[in-house]
Amino acid sequence: MNKNILGETFEVNIHRLDEKGFGQAVVWRKNEEGNERKLKLTIPYTLPGEKVQVTVEQPHKRRWKSNAEAILEQHSDRVIAKCPHFEKCGGCVWQHWSYEGQLQEKTNYVKNVLRLQKISPEVVKDTIGMEEPWYYRNKMEFTFSPDGSLGLHEQGNYRNIIPLETCFIMDQEMKETVLLVAKWVKENKLSGYNKEEREGLLRHLMVRKSFHTGEIMLAIFATESPDEIVGIDELVTRIEHKFSQVKSLLWLENRNWADRTQAEQTHILLGRDYIHDELVGYRYRLWFDTFFQTNPLQAKKLVELALEMAQPKQTEKMIDLFCGVGTFSLPFASRVKELAGIEIVETSIQSANRNAKDNGITNTYFLAKDARHGIDEVLTHFGKPDLLLIDPPRSGAGGKVMRRIGRSKPNRIIYVSCNPASFATDIKELEPFGYTLKTVQPVDLFPHTHHVEVVALMSRVEK
C-alpha cells in the first residue's frame, strides 16, 4: 500500500472539543525527511475521552478533518441520534451525546473561558436546560438547491443541500408548512438558485412561528417578482386551506450576489408583513428580518433571570445597550423610572418604539446609533445610569465600549451573552473600574448544539 496516496490510519484519543463542538486529537509521526511532526486532527461527532480510528488521506498535512471510521472506546454518555439527517445536516452536532452530558459540557466550557481570563469560575452555576430539549426552535431558514430541492446545508460542505424530510429541533407545525412549499416547488418544476452560475429562481425559505399566538410567517426569497410565477395562486390557496394560522406569506425579491436572507422588494401574498408574538407578558411585532430569540421558552428564562439579578427599582435610570426590538427593554421599563435603549439597526429601533407604544410603555427613549457613541449621547441627555444591561452580538462589545461603560459608573451591570468567550474578554475590561463578577448563569437555548448563553451580574464597589 502506498500510504502517500491511500493515507495513514491512526487510533487516537479525543482530548477536548473545539469551538464548534468537534473532537480534537493529536498524533506524532515522521515526515518525508524523517523528522517528528505534530498532526492536529478534528474529528466531528466524537466525545472527550473516546478512542477512535481515523484515516488521514494526505499524511503530510499539519491539520486534518475527518469523520471517525470506528469508535474503539466510547463515552458512557454516547447515545443514538434521533434524527436521520444527523452527521449530514449542519443543524445539530451533539445528538449523539446525552442531554445531561451536553449540559455539563456547557457549564465546564463557561468556567474554562473565565479561567483563561484569570477570572474565578466559582460564580458559575450549573447550566439551566430544558425539560423537553426537542422541537424548540420558532424560526428556521432553508435553502433551495439548483434542482429546486429544499433543505439545510451539509455539514462541512456549504455547497450541498440535504433535502428536508424531518427536523427534531423545529416546531412540527412549521415543518409541515415547509414541506408544503417544497412539494409545490417540485410540482411546478421551479428552479433553485445556483450560487456558482448566479442564476435560478428560488434562494431561501424562512419560517417563523409565535408559540404564544400561534401565528406563522412564511417568506420565500427569489430572484424574480411573483407576478409571472407558475402556480403562485395555487400555493396561496393551499396554504389558506390547510394552515389558517399562516398570517403572513411573503415573496421577497433578492437579486444580490450575497447569500443572505435579505430583500430588495417585498410582496405580500397572504395576510400582512409581520406576525405577533409575546414574551413574559409583552407583545411584539415580528417582521421577516426582526431579531427575536429562537427558543421562546428559554428566552423567557433569560428575561426572568436578568430581572432577578438586576432587582430594578422604580427610582432608577437604566440603559439597555444593543437593545434590538426591546426584548429586555419593555420588561425592565415597567420596573424603572426611565430607560434608554441603544441599537445601531434603524429598523430595530423603529420596532422598539412601536412595541413600547403597543404595550402602553411611555418611559422609554430609543436611539439608533452605534454603542460607543450612543452611550455618550445618552449620558449627555439622560445622566448617569443606575443600571445597565448589555446584550451584544457574538463578537462581543469590545474594549472601547466596555471601558466607556466602566467610566459611566452604573451601580449594576447585567451582561447577556450568546458567546461566553467574548463575554469573558469583555468583562475583564471592567475590573480596573471596580466591578466584581457576582454570578454567572448559563442557559441552554440550543440543545444538541455547542452553543450556550449566559446571564451575568457585575456590581461596582467604590475603592
Query: Which are the catalytic amino acids?
Result: 418
24 touches 16 (CB < 8 A): yes
Quote the CA–CA distance of 117 and 427 in Å, as a whole number.
Answer: 9
Quote the CA–CA distance of 441 and 426 in Å, as a whole number.
Answer: 16
163: Cβ contacts below 8 Å, ≥ 6 apart: 145, 149, 150, 151, 182
49 touches 34 (CB < 8 A): no
Beta bridge partners of 39: 27
C-alpha cell of 93? 452536532
Quote the CA–CA distance of 354 and 286 in Å, as a whole number.
Answer: 11
* Strand order, beta sheet including 8-13: 8-13, 51-56, 70-73
Rounding to the nearest 10 degrees, give the CA dihedral for residues 310, 311, 317, 323.
40
Write the DSSP symbol of residue 125.
P
Closest CA to 20 of 93, 116, 111, 95: 93
Which amino acid appears at position 343 of this protein?
E
Element containing residue 27 per DSSP (H, E): strand 23-30
387-390 vs 412-417, strand pairing mode: parallel
Count of beta carbons in the 10 Å neighbourhood of residue 342: 24
